[in-house]
Structure 1
Amino acid sequence: MAFRVTLNDTDTQFEVNPGEPLLDAAERAGLALVHDCRFGGCGTCRIKVNQGSVDYEEQPFGLTEEEAGQGYALACQARACSDLHINARLRPAGFIQPDYHEATIVQMDALCHDVTHLVLRIPTATDVAFHPGQYLNVILEDGTPRSFSMASPPRGDLYDLHIRRVPGGRFTERLYGHYQVGDTLDVELPLGEFRLQDDSLDNRLLMVAGGTGLAPIKSIIESLDELENPPEVLLYWGVRKERDLYLHDDIRSWLEQRSHLTYVPVLSDADDDWSGRRGYVHEAICEDHTDLSGFDAYLCGPPPMIFSARDAFSRLGMDGDRIYSDSFNFTHELAEAE
């Protein structure tokens, strides 16, 4: 017997079959719930269950125990156990549908020992008004995608990417010795729900990046330059070694032009001569701030960082609905590795 799901504060309802993920059922009914990774890692499809109950085949990584205890669930993995009343975000009417384009490689530079700055020119995407924080897919020969964040706000037909080399990666390995400037790639864009929310501009912004998760964070920070009075931004960037801080000098130069920006690099495996912060990036934030209730957080990095940060920030007073995270920047790297 199918269960009935009602979106609170509306007359909208849809049916979900036993064992069917809520997101699949909503899409089958023509409802565009906000979502991204679809495997429970990012938390983008987070909903609030106000009445009824759900369960999971496996507990999703992108939902903390505390959040589950407060009645939150992830629509991409949750299965209804009864009729439900939920709060859920729907994609806006002006949602930009992704499309396929041909891109030309115009620049390839090594940012550090294992990160490449790849610049693509996509003439047919000049008018694509992607949101800073979104990503594109590079489509491989067999049709499978590899996802990479845009590392700069929209700038005509040029698209910046930060690509970390993954041993055995079908695309990232080929950036070394196979692809050359002038080669073409098939791409799909824009994709992803990770973006600056309009109502975040009223709060302090906590930007947390792990590794090449810096790329979408950089895009969002640079987009704030268009504002007359940008909000205060605290950027924490966590990597293993000092050599992994591939834009360290550039970011320090940002501080001269951006008085609203604070930058804290954190190394989890620092050498003896490192004089800065050590440990995990979310721990450094919790050491610096005992009350996070006035912040909105934007997180991009590996799953353990996202999970640990969400849990720790919630314990320090941050509203879980004010924590936004990006998943693709690690999912493609995990899937890529053989």
Structure 2
Amino acid sequence: MDWIRKIHKWTSLLVGVQFLLWLFSGIYFNLMDHHKAGGHQYRAHVHHESQVDKSKLVEPKSVLGKAKAATSVKLTEILGQPYYLVNHEKGLYPNFKNRYSLYHAYTGELTNIDDDFARKLALQSYNGPGKIVSAQFISGKIEDFPKQKNPSWQVTFNDEVNTSVYVDGGSGWIVGHSDDDKRFASIFFMLHFMDYGNEGSFNNLQIILFAFVTLWLSTTGLIWTVDLVARGQYKVKWLAKQRQVKLFDKHQQSLGEVKLSTHDNLLHELEQHSIILPSSCGGGGTCGRCRVLISPNAKVTSADTQQFNQEQLNEGFRLACQHFSNDVEHMTLMDVTDANKVTLELLDNRFVSPDIKELRFKVIGEPFAFKAGAFMRFLIPAGQGNYLPVDIPSNYQVHWQGTQAQHYHHDACSRSYSIANADSANGELVFTIKMLPAQSSEHLPGIGSNFMGNLALNQTIEALGPFEDFYVKPENGSTLVLIGAGSGMAPLKAIIEEQLANGANKSIVFIYGARTEQDLIYQQEFYQLAKSDSRFTYLPTLSKPNKDWLGAQGYAQEVLKMNLSSFNDLSNLDFYLCGPKGMMDETIALLKHHDIEDNRISFDDFS
């Protein structure tokens, strides 16, 4: 099922792009000047009385005697002179492959359409201000008229739209006019009819393949929908039922019974009973932390197969966020936390870089203890958001100048953010949240970050936590090396505060990467801390520094690589990583290359 989802997503991207091309080209067709788009701006329509003296005409039989393998003969008038047009190979339409020859109807002599003849025919068909600049005989494909299969003359004029008149090389007929307006319109015809091979037809290989791709998209979408229905992922609230479920802890001790609705998944239903399972992905099935043990007969989702091996699946291990109460009668909770649902009130909300905001909350009710590096899961209610953050400082407004202040609606969701301060007696919690802008007006910005970043002072929000997975192990080495970038600052800043405040006998090296000096959040605080406390070393680095920057340049992992040799005993170092996935992958690969043991490497994958 997983491969069907992947192919469905990629084909939907392809189909979506083509649908946009159809939309934009369709709008153009409605707005364009059809006369100009047809290349007819300087086309003359010739009407004249026949000047043929029939008494001077030679007999058609004498012409047919000269022509070989003629299929038909027709009297026509070109440039005021009579000609017999003899067809030797007839196509279904004039632009199909035809073979003609011209014989003067008074003399019976064969006449070839040469450069001079083609120029005269083009001038007769043209009423613009331009002069002829060239006449070229084209025996192959004509880009302006890809359907034309017969050799033709291209006569070009030097007017403002670069008009070209095409004359059939055998019959002397005008194939058509083309100019810059028509060529521009042809681009949209190409996009609309998927004629990327410029065949001049919508019955092409590309559109046939696209039809099969669309059929595949529809089929896989139907299969995916049926699978979601079969797994109970589509739920109608008013059809939901309450089920009694027996709960056990991982030691098989009874935790009693709870009533869970079939409307929502087990993870969220347990939260309604203040039973908090760890989850950093908010129920997306990607973090694999909300493990429960239910019936081995319960359906296995693609997220389950990614998080558990076959033996665990056979035992009944599943992800709570992927299953509903109609899957279970009893359930073993493998990782129940001491986390609670708490209400937080916003005390301060300020920008600390062009796209990162610091939010300071106080806990309503009893404060709780937590280890530095912990995170909270915020419950974002459904509502209205805004593409543009509020209260942007003047020195950061250039970063947001392309973003329009328009509203959008979003559903309820949850997002996890690391606490950016150490535990303190005042019960305050600090978070550094990167505001994710929309890539375009067709996309939404980061729902969680924009909701949080636009909270007003004294506004409250509910959160679950704290969840403690990323923290300093006191029994390990004597030196902590922290590597971070972007909003990955949050848990590392908390660890630094905790370790120095508790008087830990550990040295701390903090390597932090950013793009520009504006993005170096808490720069002055860390510089001052490095001056006042000999245990702390601060190494900021910029990937896009200005000419006045005197510090390290490049990425955080590159600075770590340059400084590894300065550490005497690598086995006595503990590494804590938090930042973009690319940075952490490269850093872990570097540490593995230097034989750093796994238990010495901790990371918080906020991506």
TM norm. shorter chain > 0.5: yes
Contact (CA 8 Å) 1:292, 1:313: kept in 2 or not? no
Q: Within 5 Å, which residues of 2 pair with 1:1-338?
A: 30=250, 37=280, 77=307, 79-80=309-310, 97-126=338-367, 128-142=368-382, 143-155=412-424, 156-167=426-437, 168-175=445-452, 178-200=454-476, 202-290=477-565, 292-328=570-606, 330=607
User: Which whole-Å CA distance do the structure 2 matches of 1:135 and 1:189 have between them?
Assistant: 7
**Alpha-carbon spacing, 1:121–1:99, altered in 2? closer, same or farther (3 Å):** same
User: Which amino acid in the other structure matches residue 431 of structure 2?
Assistant: L
TM-score relative to the length of structure 1: 0.69
User: Which amino acid in the other structure matches residue 77 of structure 1?
Assistant: Q
SS at match of 1:213: helix
User: Which amino acid in the other structure matches residue 287 of structure 1?
Assistant: M
Q: What is the root-mean-square deviation in Å for CA atoms of aligned residues?
A: 3.4
**Alpha-carbon spacing, 1:44–1:216, altered in 2? closer, same or farther (3 Å):** farther
User: Which whole-Å CA distance do the structure 2 matches of 1:125 and 1:208 have between them?
Assistant: 33
Which structure's relative contact order is higher, taking Cα pairs within 8 Å and 6+ residues apart? 1
**Alpha-carbon spacing, 1:272–1:41, altered in 2? closer, same or farther (3 Å):** farther
Q: Deviations over 1:235-293 (max 9, x none)?
A: 00011221110211111011133210111011122233322111221121111113633
**Alpha-carbon spacing, 1:40–1:280, altered in 2? closer, same or farther (3 Å):** farther
TM-score relative to the length of structure 2: 0.40
**Alpha-carbon spacing, 1:175–1:241, altered in 2? closer, same or farther (3 Å):** same
Larger Rg: 2
Q: Deviations over 1:172-209 (max 9, x none)?
A: 22455x42101111111101400111213x42111111
**Alpha-carbon spacing, 1:238–1:203, altered in 2? closer, same or farther (3 Å):** same
Contact (CA 8 Å) 1:42, 1:327: kept in 2 or not? no
User: Which amino acid in the other structure matches residue 129 of structure 1?
Assistant: A
User: Which amino acid in the other structure matches residue 112 of structure 1?
Assistant: S
Deviation at 1:99, TM superposition (A): 0.9
Deviation at 1:96, TM superposition (A): 5.0
User: Which whole-Å CA distance do the structure 2 matches of 1:261 and 1:76 have between them?
Assistant: 40
User: Which whole-Å CA distance do the structure 1 matches of 2:279 and 2:533 have between them?
Assistant: 31
User: Which whole-Å CA distance do the structure 1 matches of 2:361 and 2:309 have between them?
Assistant: 41
Deviation at 1:160, TM superposition (A): 0.7
Contact (CA 8 Å) 1:242, 1:270: kept in 2 or not? yes
User: Which whole-Å CA distance do the structure 1 matches of 2:289 and 2:552 have between them?
Assistant: 30
Contact (CA 8 Å) 1:41, 1:327: kept in 2 or not? no
**Alpha-carbon spacing, 1:29–1:223, altered in 2? closer, same or farther (3 Å):** closer
User: Which whole-Å CA distance do the structure 2 matches of 1:42 and 1:279 have between them?
Assistant: 30
**Alpha-carbon spacing, 1:106–1:219, altered in 2? closer, same or farther (3 Å):** same
User: Which whole-Å CA distance do the structure 1 matches of 2:360 and 2:513 have between them?
Assistant: 24
Larger fraction in helix:
2
Q: Deviations over 1:70-92 (max 9, x none)?
A: xxxxx97352579xxxxxxxxxx
SS at match of 2:365: helix
Q: Deviations over 1:29-78 (max 9, x none)?
A: 9279x986579988999xxxxxxxxxxx99xxxxxxxxxxxxxxxx9735
User: Which amino acid in the other structure matches residue 373 of structure 2?
Assistant: G
User: Which whole-Å CA distance do the structure 2 matches of 1:136 and 1:130 have between them?
Assistant: 11
User: Which amino acid in the other structure matches residue 30 of structure 1?
Assistant: K
Equivalent position of 1:88 in the other structure: none
**Alpha-carbon spacing, 1:174–1:225, altered in 2? closer, same or farther (3 Å):** same
Q: Deviations over 1:131-190 (max 9, x none)?
A: 1100111111144211111111112321111111111011322455x4210111111110
**Alpha-carbon spacing, 1:41–1:278, altered in 2? closer, same or farther (3 Å):** farther
Give the % identical residues: 23
SS at match of 2:550: coil
Contact (CA 8 Å) 2:359, 2:430: kept in 1 or not? yes
User: Which whole-Å CA distance do the structure 2 matches of 1:40 and 1:304 have between them?
Assistant: 21
User: Which amino acid in the other structure matches residue 600 of structure 2?
Assistant: R
**Alpha-carbon spacing, 1:243–1:31, altered in 2? closer, same or farther (3 Å):** farther
**Alpha-carbon spacing, 1:219–1:95, altered in 2? closer, same or farther (3 Å):** farther
Comparing 266-275 and 182-191, the one that deviates more: 266-275
User: Which whole-Å CA distance do the structure 1 matches of 2:478 and 2:336 have between them?
Assistant: 25
Contact (CA 8 Å) 2:370, 2:468: kept in 1 or not? no
User: Which amino acid in the other structure matches residue 346 of structure 2?
Assistant: I
User: Which whole-Å CA distance do the structure 1 matches of 2:552 and 2:345 have between them?
Assistant: 40
User: Which whole-Å CA distance do the structure 2 matches of 1:206 and 1:224 have between them?
Assistant: 12
Contact (CA 8 Å) 1:210, 1:238: kept in 2 or not? yes
User: Which whole-Å CA distance do the structure 2 matches of 1:35 and 1:292 have between them?
Assistant: 33
**Alpha-carbon spacing, 1:313–1:251, altered in 2? closer, same or farther (3 Å):** same
Consecutive unaligned residues of structure 2, counting only runs of 5 or more, are: 1-247, 253-276, 291-301, 313-334, 383-411, 438-444
Contact (CA 8 Å) 1:40, 1:76: kept in 2 or not? no
Equivalent position of 2:136 in the other structure: none
